[in-house]
Amino acid sequence: MEKLLITGGSGFLGSRLKAAYQDKYEVCTPTHSELDITNRDSVAAFFITERPDKVIHCAGMADVVTCERNPDESAVVNVVGSLNMATVAAQYKAKIIICSSDQVYCGNRGNVAHNEDEVVFPYNQYGKQKRSAEKECQRVNPESIILRLSWMYEPDNLSDFTRMDYPRNLCNKIMNNEKLRYSTRDRRGITDVNEVVANMEKAFELPGGIYNFGSPNKFNTYDLTKNLISSLGISLRYIEEDTAAFANNSRNLLMSQEKINKYGIVFRNSYDALYDCLRDKIKVPV
């Protein structure tokens, strides 16, 4: 049985990867005290002891606001931590997947989906750090498989609002008779985390490089939501356009799946997946 190291194993994605693959691999999800990704010696010592065959590097500081407020601290985690993992994985010949983000596209203009070969212009700290991590990991370990992930959600147990995501926010507001406010100037894919988990093992077979890894989407977030609730038989009185959000700086995080599809990895589009998630589950107050 191969050994699979998952960093960030207690996080949203890492915990689900662990649950999905624990019967197929010997999965290790070390705590920070057991593996400090920001310390090269700690990473090397862990690899010497555990000798993982494969690595999925999910650990990072992902909150965009926190990264803006603490750019130096977050860069150590997001850039140096990824660099250390890619470097040591190369030394010990372990296949490694590095989790990046669609936020690298946050400064790119236009309304069409971005491809991996575009020059990117991230303007927030998180996007800049993820792009720096991509370049550093490719430099020290060209075999690194770098996945640009999109906004993810958990389709199960939609009544649990302890961690809000897109469908939970939608359900919560409708149940409380509140308005859904989304911008026509914001475009991004929204992905079922279970599809990310299911496709992750296939990603180990990819050549080293950068890949968009999430659901395609042809709508802005306002139109996506409007179409969804209309299809679900929910009154359009619940939705209104947010004219302030991105008013001066349209955001387009849409990602083309053309490259990943060539390797047989496919994600459902955001509308279809969200419709399946919400159908027969969303409760509309009388």
In the chain, ranges of CATH 3.40.50.720 domains: 3-151+189-213
CATH assignment of 3-151+189-213, among 3.40.50.720, 3.40.120.10, 3.10.300.10, 3.40.50.150: 3.40.50.720
pLDDT per residue of the chain (286 residues) written in tens, 0 to 9: 999 999 999 999 999 999 999 999 999 999 999 999 999 999 999 999 999 999 999 999 999 999 999 999 999 999 999 999 999 999 999 999 999 999 999 999 889 999 999 999 999 999 999 999 999 999 999 999 999 999 999 999 888 888 889 999 999 999 899 999 999 999 999 999 999 999 999 999 999 999 999 999 999 999 999 999 999 999 999 999 999 999 888 999 999 999 999 999 999 999 999 999 999 888 776 5
49 C-beta neighbours (distance < 10 Å), count: 8
Contact 86, 133 (CB under 8 A): no
CA distance 127 to 136: 14
Range 43-50, long-range pairs (CB < 8 A, 24+ positions): 43/84, 43/85, 43/87, 43/88, 44/88, 44/91, 46/5, 47/88, 47/89, 47/91, 47/92, 47/94, 48/92, 50/3, 50/5
